[in-house]
Structure 1
Amino acid sequence: MSIRKTRPAPDFNGIGEAAAGITHREGDTLTYDCTLVTPMYGGGVKAGEVDTLMPIRATAIRGQLRFWWRLLNRKRFANSHAMFEAERAIWGGLGDETSLAKSKVVVSVVSGSVPPADLVSASSYPRDALFHALFAAVQNKSQLRKENARFKLKLNLGSKLSGEQRQQAIDALRWWASFGGVGARTRRGCGAVHVKNVLPVNVQEAQARDCRLVLNAPVNDPIDAWRQAVKAMQQFRQGDGLGRNPAAGGSKSPPGRSRWPEPDAIRRLTTRHSSRHAAPVCDKGDIFPRAAFGLPIVFMFKDEEAGDPNDTTLKPIPEGRSNPVERMSSPLTLRPYFDGKSWRPAVLCLNLDHIKKMGVSLRRTEGDKSLKDILPGQWQAGAMADQIGPMRGRGEDAIEAFLNYFREQVVAVKQTSAATRAIEKVKVFDRPNITLRGDKIIVDPHGHARRELAGETAQRLLNDLSDYARQRLKAGKPFNRLELTFDGHEYMSLKEYQA
């Protein structure tokens, strides 16, 4: 006679099921309520495309959970082989030519198809800081899955998992919920997900895993938090008066020359420069500090026909390699972070050991011919950082300088005057979609929360519209050929564009 022992329920490392965010539990299956809080780019079988029938793919989420598992457990093992076997024991995969392990964690998603109204062109989002995150989607003329979509995530933690392995899977879920997402460009905040009731990973937990988490002051909603996080990076790299020289007084043209050393280093290495750029702005040697933000970087000079260099590409040379590879992911994640009460702009910086040991290769984009390979430690700014405008006084490598710049924004927000905050309440939405539902007008400004107008306010907006726009709305069709101005949530005025 055999006696079957009852396996005790996991204690989730003492934090309890409530803190683990479990909405429902049935045997070994844990269910989580998830909401998309920023637009999703891609996520389908074809790169850069939303799959309208299966928008959230369980296999993609399982891949992200594996990534976070590796990050959280990489220092527990004596070598990479031991880590590989431990990962395979939980998440499955190939071993040698004859062995294939099945994942003991089964991930499934309950999500409906995408209605046409939930797809929006990436180019319809405002050309503000979010353009930095959505650039690839705009360039590829892609459609995005709008934020606020909901789905259920189910994890089946099989009976063959040990208590420790189950806890590791839950830990990976918490980090994915705090910093991951679905689709592409998640490290720039696209496809960010809020998982209901999951305890967010805090600053101390991040530090214990050799990561750095920097949070800004609370804001109104996740889109605003995302915008501010991305804006900090955009300003640091390219901003008027910080990353680049200011535009000419009163000019509406883009900012002037870069204050970073890479453009003048490329001019020197190619022995090409236009007459306007003969004198370097930043002549600090062959250094490329922005490589730390992720590679490749393609450098394109707008004055190429006037003598500036042709396109060049900077690629990574990982430790132990003599030739460059195509890609090195950014160690920075910029996204909205929910602290349990409010949304905050956040930057998570992963461990930088591999970047410190990395070399870089500058190559001609056409033909991929090498111009110069630069050894580890020699492409960073180091002691020359104080001579590079955006980095001055903020740190000797670009990552540290950016994190310190991001911290400065916390102080700037706290010092904002009441008068300035009142001005910031006024929002102008360019080409929002408006629809008529009964006696209510639904305003859907891309990148912001939807607004619902009723009663006298809705009637006033209708009266301000042209006959054509009113007829279109009454026929059940959306209209977006206009600009709307709100004071907080109160409709103020509109400007309708001509066809």
Structure 2
Amino acid sequence: MAGTYYAPEAPSLVDLKTRMDNVNKRVEKKDYLIHVVTHMVGGSSYSGKVEEEAPIKGASVRGHLRFWWRATRGTKYTTAKELFAQEKLIFGSSSEPAPVKIWVDSKKKASSPTAQMIVNSKGRLVSALCNELNSLSYVAFPFQDKKENNTYFPMQTGFTFTLNIQYEQQTKEGALSVEQLKEEMCAALWAWVNFGGIGARTRRGFGSLYCEIFSPNSKEASDNKAFIDWFYGKLRNNGILSNVTREWTTLGGIMVQRGYTNHLEAWKAGVATYQYFRRRATLRGGKPQGRSYWPEADAIRGMTKMSIKNHSEPFPPKQAQLAFPRSQFGMPIIFHFKDNKSNNHHGRDPYDSQLTPNNRDRLASPLVVKTIAVSKEQGYSAFIRLNQPQIREVKLEIIEKSGNEASIRIIRDRLRGRKIYHEAIYNNQKYDNNPLAHPDTNKVNSNAIEAFLVSKGVKEWQDAIGTPPSHKQTNKHPRQ
């Protein structure tokens, strides 16, 4: 006997709308228009290169956002295990797909700055790009082509792209909702746009960004007090703990000038102030070109037992025999001594050497020097302090590529096994003109970042708009 078939009842329009609403709650897409406001190098698949067809890759942006998520929302976790467990719920892992999809669209190809030629202040014919970057040479030197004087790697300026982010709620237990994912990513996007950038050397101001949604507007940043209020308000709203130290890098404090100016001038002001502090030395013609007040050069002379006669005694007197405080600003640091006329190790200053963290090639700087955009054209000169675990040990290696091989071998043997520990990195010994001494109390701060932020040079910078006159100096390095 044939059975009776009953057709399922068709869903009502209300049911269909409810189902669609549930789907929409599980998937949501946002897009953001972002402008690159300072020179960018890299940002694509190839390190140090600007690809014409795809200058910015989604994978590169994803890496930046992971870093800034850890530095912001990651502050509420106390162990790396807790951090990575939460990070996996947002960015996925090698075995689990990410609920957050990131990709980049751009409507026009990248184009490097045109080779416009101008006459510089010395009456020489140079490219306009080189003339701009020569004023930033202290931070732009890795991009300079040493074979062609005054030429720089291809760079992108004035580029605009659309960042697309799709949030998808996963069905597995413990998965974050779309709203929770958006909350986590909002903090990372805010920090990346304002304190990070795209491409290489973003901590020295390259590839800085502007986005109307995340950047401060002219009312929020009408002056430096309003800017600082905006900054700490955003920390509270985004659930970010400032000034906490974890096993990973976290966002610390910020300093800005009293007003904003065009991006190049704001950037140059920060770089000049940072350069002024890092090059503290005796003056020649009013400019720091004599022997450095920093202790690293004499520490290297002592370790290698190499020096010219005039530099055989520490300068200034009574400084620490083994101290490397500038390692706190990031590594590697390459030391090059100018008085190197002798081919062997007798009667000359040390061979070229390099300071690196022990068992690592580099350490990113905890100090960011950049312009923070309030529009596509203008921004605040700013210093951003990042919290990092203290450095435990560093090593010094000879990297000299010319000279007497037997002599170089002798010096390498002298350095082999030499340990440079915490007390030499965070040294607070008193001596005349110590750059780490407070300008008012003369108390020495073993934390070089804190010493910089309370220095006389930073005070002059903070009270100005643009580069203070006393910081405008020659590009020549002081003697080591």
Q: Same fold (TM over 0.5)?
A: yes
Give yes or no for contact 2:215–2:373 (8 Å, CA) kept in 1: no
168, 187, 194: which one aligns with 1:171: 187
AA matched with 2:326:
R
Instruction: Spell out, residue by residue over 1:330-364, the C-alpha distance to the aligned partner (whole angstroms, 9 max, x if none).
Output: 01111101357962110111113x1x242222222
SS in 2 for 1:136: helix
363, 366, 370: which one aligns with 2:397: 363
Q: Is 1:403–2:453 an aligned residue pair?
A: yes
Residue number in structure 1 paired with 2:144: 138
Alpha-carbon separation, structure 2, partners of 1:33 and 1:199: 12
Structure 2 counterparts to residues 199-348 of structure 1, below 5 A: 199-200=215-216, 202-203=231-232, 208-210=241-243, 211-238=252-279, 243-248=280-285, 255-282=289-316, 283-306=319-342, 307-317=348-358, 324-338=359-373, 343-348=379-384
Residue number in structure 1 paired with 2:464: 413
SS in 1 for 2:260: coil
Q: Is 1:379–2:425 an aligned residue pair?
A: yes
SS in 2 for 1:285: coil
Give yes or no for contact 1:218–1:342 (8 Å, CA) kept in 2: no
- Report the TM-score when normalising by structure 2: 0.72
Report the Cα offset of residue 220 of structure 1: 2.3
Report the Cα offset of residue 216 of structure 1: 1.2
CA gap 1:76/1:281 in 2 versus in 1, 3 angstroms? same
Report the Cα offset of residue 371 of structure 1: 6.1
Superposed CA RMSD? 3.3
SS in 2 for 1:390: coil
Give yes or no for contact 1:119–1:144 (8 Å, CA) kept in 2: no
Alpha-carbon separation, structure 2, partners of 1:292 and 1:50: 30
Alpha-carbon separation, structure 1, partners of 2:282 and 2:133: 20
Residue number in structure 1 paired with 2:105: 110
CA gap 1:123/1:267 in 2 versus in 1, 3 angstroms? farther
SS in 1 for 2:364: coil
187, 209, 214: which one aligns with 2:203: 187
Instruction: Spell out, residue by residue over 1:248-285, the C-alpha distance to the aligned partner (whole angstroms, 9 max, x if none).
Output: 57xx9x71221100001111111111123123213322
Which of the pair has the greater relative contact order for Cα pairs under 8 Å at 6+ separation?
A: 2
SS in 1 for 2:254: strand
Structure 1: state its 5+ residue gaps.
11-26, 95-99, 318-323, 425-499
Residue number in structure 2 paired with 1:157: 167
SS in 1 for 2:341: helix
SS in 2 for 1:125: helix
Q: Is 1:101–2:96 an aligned residue pair?
A: yes
SS in 1 for 2:284: coil
Give yes or no for contact 1:133–1:190 (8 Å, CA) kept in 2: no
Report the Cα offset of residue 414 of structure 1: 7.3
Moved over 6 A (4+): 119-123, 414-417
Alpha-carbon separation, structure 2, partners of 1:396 and 1:110: 46
Instruction: Spell out, residue by residue over 1:422-478, the C-alpha distance to the aligned partner (whole angstroms, 9 max, x if none).
Output: xx9xxxxxxxxxxxxxxxxxxxxxxxxxxxxxxxxxxxxxxxxxxxxxxxxxxxxxx
- Report the TM-score when normalising by structure 1: 0.69
Give yes or no for contact 1:269–1:371 (8 Å, CA) kept in 2: no
SS in 2 for 1:88: helix
Alpha-carbon separation, structure 2, partners of 1:281 and 1:174: 45
Paired-residue identity, %: 28
Alpha-carbon separation, structure 1, partners of 2:51 and 2:337: 36
Instruction: Spell out, residue by residue over 1:169-203, the C-alpha distance to the aligned partner (whole angstroms, 9 max, x if none).
Output: 11100000111111101000001011123154614
AA matched with 1:338:
A
CA gap 1:80/1:375 in 2 versus in 1, 3 angstroms? same
Write 1 or 2 for the structure with the bigger share of strand: 1
Report the Cα offset of residue 70 of structure 1: 1.1
Alpha-carbon separation, structure 2, partners of 1:42 and 1:150: 15
Residue number in structure 2 paired with 1:442: none
CA gap 1:168/1:127 in 2 versus in 1, 3 angstroms? closer
Alpha-carbon separation, structure 1, partners of 2:383 and 2:185: 23
Q: Which moved more, 1:43-52 or 1:362-371?
A: 362-371
Instruction: Spell out, residue by residue over 1:58-114, the C-alpha distance to the aligned partner (whole angstroms, 9 max, x if none).
Output: 1101110000111123343353223212111211222xxxxx111211112111212
SS in 1 for 2:310: helix
Report the Cα offset of residue 205 of structure 1: 5.0
Report the Cα offset of residue 377 of structure 1: 3.4
Alpha-carbon separation, structure 1, partners of 2:186 and 2:115: 32
CA gap 1:83/1:246 in 2 versus in 1, 3 angstroms? same
